[in-house]
Amino acid sequence: MRTIKAGEERRKEILLTARKLFVQKGYDQTSINDILKIVDIAKGTFYYYYSSKEEVLQAIIMDIVYEGAARAEQILQDTSIPLLKRIVMAVMAQAPEFEGAHKLAEELHKVDNAKLEQQYRKVMLKKMTSVLEGAVKEAGEQDIIHTDFPKECIESLLLMGHMMFDCDTFLWKAEEYPVKVKAFLCNAERMFGAKEGEFQEFMEMFE
Amino acid sequence: MRTIKAGEERRKEILLTARKLFVQKGYDQTSINDILKIVDIAKGTFYYYYSSKEEVLQAIIMDIVYEGAARAEQILQDTSIPLLKRIVMAVMAQAPEFEGAHKLAEELHKVDNAKLEQQYRKVMLKKMTSVLEGAVKEAGEQDIIHTDFPKECIESLLLMGHMMFDCDTFLWKAEEYPVKVKAFLCNAERMFGAKEGEFQEFMEMFE
């Protein structure tokens, strides 16, 4: 048991170090040797855990998805916040949020990392849809939202939020974002069949 | 002038041949030599036009986007069809539609072609949004749709349609598609603030 635990700790140490390096130096500029030097392990030990630098990044991606999902779950459990507001906050919670997250996101979104971005997207959408499904069902039962397609609304909003605000798909200028966020919230309100003005509070944050 | 025209024709011949080969044999399995043999030109001539096989595929992507845009424009001009129906049809027209289109789309969506898929997406969204903007403005003036965010509705629908139905982002099973298309149409109707049931006709196609 002791050996297994030590192995898990080493694995975590590799991931944590790699994540820091990818943020500081960039993914392309970080070598496996850079990671080895800091974790202080031999090359063979590294390859016992991961077969390539890309595999390390994939593991980091999984971690980021699961961190986002954990944040979303925490928000959804906070019954002091109105349910629909919790749902919107949980949708927004998928974006990576830790020191250096923005730089790592930039790395992920580089043209050469399109493959990783695609992987992140598929895993994130699947995980986050399952996290949000219960809350959306509850909102339907409580007559707060009115749609025959609750799961599909969640899928659409997660997809749009991710592509529009994390991936720079439309190459919008910085000054365009406030209106884009407002449009997103307005469309979310309509898709859910929520009471008009229900998301006004969020929208006013972007006035 | 004669030389320029011949050059343009050769360029088209390379693209047409490459497109056929990418569909028949797959992108990875097609070599520049395969293209040369059919077009019957020397390697140097090929490199005069394109610096790599990937550049050829990029040019094909641009062609596909412009073909989709041309189809959308043609639909939008057909005033015998009700305006809102024209808009939905034009949104749907972005998906590649030619012999072997499906196979080429598969090539584009392979994990290793994520970079090309990303490129297609950015160019397609920009081009198609501009094609559709006029019609959506007109629909607003005619009181058929009611939204403060007409351009953003178009962007959202193009993005969702592309990611959901061309890119297999959610890894849906074949039997799930009818309900996903219906949800998409229901959400489009609501986002546009169109009369409820306006898209019923389309939705019934998926009953």
Asked if residue A104 has pLDDT above 80, the reply is no
Least confident range from A111-120, A158-167, B12-21, B30-39: namely A111-120
Note the pLDDT tens digit of each residue in B53-80: 989 988 988 888 998 899 999 999 999 9
* Mean local confidence (pLDDT), B187-195: 95
Q: Which fold has domain B1-51?
A: Arc Repressor Mutant, subunit A (1.10.10)
pLDDT at position B96 is: 67
CA-to-CA distance for B187 and A150, rounded, in angstroms? 11
B183 interfaces chain A, CB cutoff of 8 Å: yes
pLDDT at position B166 is: 85
Task: Spell out the SS3 assignment of A129-168.
Answer: HHHHHHHHHHHHHCCCCCCCCHHHHHHHHHHHHHHHHHCC
Note the pLDDT tens digit of each residue in B115-165: 778 888 999 999 999 999 999 999 999 999 999 999 999 999 999 999 998
Instruction: Name the residue facing A191 among B179, B180, B191 (closest C-beta).
Output: B191
Interchain contact, B114 vs A118, CB within 8 Å:
yes
Which ipTM value was assigned to this complex? 0.83
Q: Which residues of A touch B164 (CB under 8 A)?
A: 155, 159
Q: Which CATH architecture has domain A53-204?
A: Orthogonal Bundle (1.10)
* Residue-averaged pLDDT of chain B: 88
Question: Which 100-159 residues of chain A touch chain B by CB within 8 A?
Answer: 111-112, 114-115, 117-119, 121-122, 125-126, 147-149, 152-153, 155-156, 159
Percent of chain A scored above 70 by pLDDT?
A: 88
* Residue-averaged pLDDT of chain A: 88
DSSP code per residue over B78-142 = -TTS-HHHHHHHHHHTTS--STTHHHHHHHHHSGGGHHHHHHHHHHHHHHHHHHHHHHHHHHHHT
Chain A interface, best mutation among B127, B128, B152, by max A CB count within 10 A: B152
Cβ(B147)–Cβ(B140) under 8 Å?
yes
The alpha carbon of residue A94 is apart from the nearest alpha carbon of chain B, in Å, by 16
**Gyration radius (Cα) of chain B, Å:** 20
pLDDT at position A175 is: 94
Note the pLDDT tens digit of each residue in A184-195: 999 999 999 999
Note the pLDDT tens digit of each residue in B70-116: 999 999 999 999 999 999 989 988 776 655 666 666 666 665 567 77
pLDDT at position A72 is: 94
Interchain contact, A169 vs B159, CB within 8 Å:
yes
Instruction: Name the residue facing B183 among A149, A160, A184 (closest C-beta).
Output: A149
Spell out the domain ranges in chain B: 1-51, 53-204
More confident residue, B4 or B176: B176
